[in-house]
Amino acid sequence: MSLLILLFGILLLFVLILKKINPMIALIAVAIITGLLLGMPATKVMNSISNGIGSTLGSMVMVLALGAMMGKLIEDSGSAKKIVFILIGAFGKKNIQWAVLLTGLLVGIPLFYNAGFVVLIPLVFAISATTGLSKLYIGIPMATALSVTHGFLPPHPGPVALAGIFHADIGKTLIYGLTLSVPIAVIAGIYFPRLILKRDQSLTVHNFSISEEENLPSASRSFITALLPVFLIIAGTIGSSIKIDYIGKPLFTFLADPTAALLISVIIALALQKTSISKAMESCAEGVKSIAMIILIIAAGGAFKQILIDSGMGETVKQLTGGLNLSPLLLAWLITASLRVTLGSATVAALTASGMVLPLIGPGASPELMVLSVGAGSLMFSHVNDTGFWMFKEYFNLSLKETFSTWTMMESLVSVLGLVGVLVLNQFV
């Protein structure tokens, strides 16, 4: 009976989202209704919602806020564009896809998906116009890279929220995520478009040049500000994981904390800004404003997750699937992928699934790999109920059929390869 109630709750959430109800409002409403239908007293339902919001945001709200500040500073300073010009110049004409892919990975780490897409799409069109290559041939590597970072790499909202829910080490999650992201991005971003797009355009690339804008920051400053959080978290994680005690270990432990790493990075980015401190602070405020709704959606997803945990639904799912003899990582991916196809939003699907699969964490599935498995499932088969589907369709002026055969197939490929990568990693960690 409880499983039928859960399915009803998911169906209700699907209907509300289809009716264009804000996901935050929809999640809170469905969490309350589901809790009551599962027999929880009203006071316990509201306590669970409060606890879910607090436990979810408590471990990550500063990471999201500082990450948004960092991304906005990088965007406004021109560092993202500078990285694009450097990489395109370094890779040359014949390897332009590789330049765009690497650009998407580097820019996608500090920037949220929508912001990264908007920053890079004009450059994709400029490259296409200059080289005569198809917009999709250039654009799919960019979209793939941004999608991979969105699904697998902190400090994006989904991976950060899941790391907090699963009590996963963010540094290890980032290292494992990078291990998966590069080969997946190459397969889905380079070889996939070459297979599906009819093309013999290598000879049409003549006199290739993209004029660089004036007043952009230097190369060193651009790369330092964009990649510093990643380097600090990785260095801190590696340094703090050494078994023996040594003088510098507390420092590495401090740097491994994503809040500390991002705070240091924001301070350094502010110090390197050529604009006034007041203007830089305005950029920081705008960055936080841009993710305010994302934070609220994550909070509401945490509330729904807590209802599923406190009602015993997670244990019910564990018992029902105990006889299936499936890897917990595969099961987590299947549940999340089903929710993604149903609900559309990758973040909502991942957070909804987290409350169901949390009890599956154990010897056969580390918290870090569970984050990546759910992240991979949240990218599966993006279609008409996903805003990313329509953004890609409209920017590239595609038909529905063309969008399914490019964007949807690329997202599904990333998702499946992510699952395969997680299962392989699980054999070694």
Per-residue model confidence as pLDDT tens digits over 339-376: 888 877 788 889 888 888 888 887 778 999 999 999 99
CB-CB contact of 427 with 329 (8 Å) = no
Q: Is the pLDDT of residue 252 over 70?
A: yes
Per-residue model confidence as pLDDT tens digits over 173-192: 999 999 999 999 999 999 99
Instruction: Provide the pLDDT confidence category of residue 202 given band limits of 50, 70 and 90.
Output: very low
261's tokens: 């790493």
| Confidence at residue 322, expressed as pLDDT on a 0 to 100 scale | 63
| Confidence at residue 22, expressed as pLDDT on a 0 to 100 scale | 86
Q: What's CA 360's distance to the chain center, in Å?
A: 22
Instruction: Provide the pLDDT confidence category of residue 59 given band limits of 50, 70 and 90.
Output: low
Give mean pLDDT, residues 39-63: 88
Handedness of CA 125, 126, 129, 130 (dihedral sign): negative
| Confidence at residue 94, expressed as pLDDT on a 0 to 100 scale | 78
Q: Which of 48-52, 159-163, 368-372 shows the lowest mean pLDDT across its residues?
A: 159-163
SS3 letters for the chain?
CHHHHHHHHHHHHHHHHHCCCCHHHHHHHHHHHHHHHCCCCHHHHHHHHHHHHHHHHHCCHHHHHHHHHHHHHHHHHCHHHHHHHHHHHHHCCCCHHHHHHHHHHHHHCCCCHHHHHHHHHHHHHHHHHHHCCCHHHHHHHHHHHHHHHHHHCCCCHHHHHHHHHHCCCHHHHHHHHHHHHHHHHHHHHHHHHHHHCCCCCHHHCCCCCCCCCCCCCCHHHHHHHHHHHHHHHHHHHHHHCCCCCCCCHHHHHHHHCHHHHHHHHHHHHHHHCCCCHHHHHHHHHHHHHHCHHHHHHHHHHHHHHHHHHHCCHHHHHHHHHHHHCCCHHHHHHHHHHHHHHHHCCHHHHHHHHHHHHHHHCECCECHHHHHHHHHHHCCCCCCCCCHHHHHHHHHCCCCHHHHHHHHHHHHHHHHHHHHHHHHHHCCCC
| Confidence at residue 188, expressed as pLDDT on a 0 to 100 scale | 97
Instruction: Provide the pLDDT confidence category of residue 323 given band limits of 50, 70 and 90.
Output: low
In the chain, where are the structural domains located? 2-199+210-425
Q: Regarding predicted confidence, which is higher, 309 or 16?
A: 16
Cα 206 from Cα 199, distance rounded (Å): 16
Per-residue model confidence as pLDDT tens digits over 77-88: 888 778 777 877
| Confidence at residue 257, expressed as pLDDT on a 0 to 100 scale | 85
Cα separation values, 21 from 14, 113, 225, Å? 10, 22, 37
Backbone torsions φ then ψ of 136, nearest 5 degrees: -70, -35
Per-residue model confidence as pLDDT tens digits over 404-427: 999 999 999 999 999 999 999 999
What is the model's pTM?
Answer: 0.78
| Confidence at residue 321, expressed as pLDDT on a 0 to 100 scale | 65
Give mean pLDDT, residues 232-242: 86
Number of alpha carbons in the 13 Å side-chain half-sphere of residue 383: 12
Q: Regarding predicted confidence, which is higher, 205 or 42?
A: 42
Cα 401 from Cα 206, distance rounded (Å): 32
| Confidence at residue 214, expressed as pLDDT on a 0 to 100 scale | 64
Instruction: Provide the pLDDT confidence category of residue 70 given band limits of 50, 70 and 90.
Output: confident
Q: Regarding predicted confidence, which is higher, 336 or 106?
A: 336
| Confidence at residue 375, expressed as pLDDT on a 0 to 100 scale | 95
CB-CB contact of 396 with 355 (8 Å) = no
Task: Give me the chain's average pLDDT, please.
Answer: 85
Per-residue model confidence as pLDDT tens digits over 261-290: 889 989 998 988 888 889 999 989 998 887
60's tokens: 């990550």
What residues pair up with 365 in beta bridges, in sequence order? 362
Cα dihedral: 171, 177, 182, 187 (round 10): 180
Number of alpha carbons in the 13 Å side-chain half-sphere of residue 130: 15
Give mean pLDDT, residues 106-129: 76
| Confidence at residue 247, expressed as pLDDT on a 0 to 100 scale | 85
| Confidence at residue 80, expressed as pLDDT on a 0 to 100 scale | 74
Q: Is the pLDDT of residue 332 over 90?
A: yes
By C-alpha distance, which of 37, 52, 47 is closest to 3? 37
Q: Which of 15-29, 79-93, 172-186, 295-309 shows the lowest mean pLDDT across its residues?
A: 79-93
Q: Which of 35-44, 118-127, 196-205, 218-227 shows the lowest mean pLDDT across its residues?
A: 196-205
| Confidence at residue 281, expressed as pLDDT on a 0 to 100 scale | 93
Share of the chain above pLDDT 90, in %: 30
| Confidence at residue 203, expressed as pLDDT on a 0 to 100 scale | 36
| Confidence at residue 210, expressed as pLDDT on a 0 to 100 scale | 54
